[in-house]
Amino acid sequence: MSIARHMPPADPTPPTSLFARRALHGDRDGLSVLMARLRPLLLAQIRYRLGPSLLRQHDPEDVLHDAWLVAIPRLGDLEDEGRRATPTVLSFLGTTILHVVRNLARAAARQPTTATAEPAALATGVVTACVRRERDQRVQQAIAALTEPDRAALVLRGIEQQPLPAVARLLGISTEAAGKRYRRALVRLRRSLPRELVAELTAAATHRTPPSVVS
């Protein structure tokens, strides 16, 4: 009998934390995989933060592109926390996106009648290595299927890692209800997101204050 029959099957989906750690240490391939896995979640945050008005002026894909261009050179400055590498990177990206969107909002306020969507500069190198895949589309569809309050809880708690009382205040509900909305959002995404990434998002919610970035 072949020894290979007794070998356990290889894990087809290595943990996101593995690629997050590689990205922190400057590994290009690790960064590319990380970008692909986090992309649907970050696009959900961008759409939430842009709101209806700015969404008419800016493509979320362009905003994400710009956020990565800001974040990539600074990833090496983040502390590698081992298994908690994904929450570290996710919180940093969430904060970076907040700064990018706030800059867009300030620009729109200065030119309310002439603001138009500016196409992002042609991405080169690792930015273009992030390809869209079938799973990516499934995750985006699953996030879009969430109710607006559940999607907001996912963004505020899971990606931006805001304290639960702050999430509750922003949503106008009790702290208990905010926690339930976030947990419900994760449950509904379990069939679309890689199992270990759901675990990382759960861990992210209890992570320390997101690293700040300079706009």
Categorize the per-residue pLDDT at 7 as very low, low, confident or very high, splitting at 50, 70 and 90: very low
pLDDT in tens, 189-208: 887 777 767 776 776 555 44
SS (H, E, C) the chain: CCHHHHCCCCCCCCCHHHHHHHHHCCCHHHHHHHHHHHHHHHHHHHHHHHHHHHHCCCCHHHHHHHHHHHHHHHHHHCCCCHHHHHHHHHHHHHHHHHHHHHHHHHHHHHCCCCCCCCCCCCCCHHHHHCCCCHHHHHHHHHHHHCCHHHHHHHHHHHHCCCCHHHHHHHHCCCHHHHHHHHHHHHHHHCCCCCHHHHHHHHHHCCCCCCCCCCC
pLDDT in tens, 16-36: 778 888 888 888 888 888 888
Quote the pTM value: 0.74
Average model confidence (pLDDT) for the chain? 76
